[in-house]
């Protein structure tokens, strides 16, 4: 096996990065914003946020634009 297809640190095969979801829900934490949910459908994301009792969620598009906040 060529070393080009092996990660140096673990000897695992290289895997392509996961495709970024179209919409992300993040929650502000002391360490910075943390992504807590991702989906490609805006309605699914908004329903997920509305079913949570906590406040402070932000819905952002893939480009980082703020679309909604709770």
Q: What pLDDT is recorded for position 4?
A: 62
Please give the torsion angle defined by the CA atoms of residues 53, 57, 17 and 11, in that order, rounded to the nearest 10 degrees.
-60
Question: 10: pLDDT confidence band, cut at 50, 70 and 90?
Answer: low
Tell me the sheet residues that pair with 38: 24
CB-hemisphere CA count at 13 Å for 53?
A: 0
Query: Residue 36: pLDDT band by 50, 70, 90 thresholds?
Result: very high
- 44: helix, strand or coil: helix
One DSSP character per residue, 17-43 reads PPPPPSEEEEEEETTEEEEEEEES-HH
pTM: 0.70
Average pLDDT, the chain: 86
Q: For 45-61, how does the pLDDT look when each residue is reduced to its tens digit (9 = 90+)?
A: 999 999 998 889 999 99
Sequence ranges of the domains in the chain? 20-69
């Amino acid at each position: 096996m060529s070393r080009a297809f092996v990660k140096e640190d673990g000897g695992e095969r290289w895997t392509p990065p996961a495709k970024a979801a179209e919409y992300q829900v993040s929650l502000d934490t002391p360490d910075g914003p943390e992504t807590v949910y991702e989906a490609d459908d805006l309605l699914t994301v908004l329903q997920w946020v509305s079913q949570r009792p906590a406040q402070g969620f932000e819905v952002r598009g893939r480009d980082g634009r703020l679309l909604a906040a709770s």
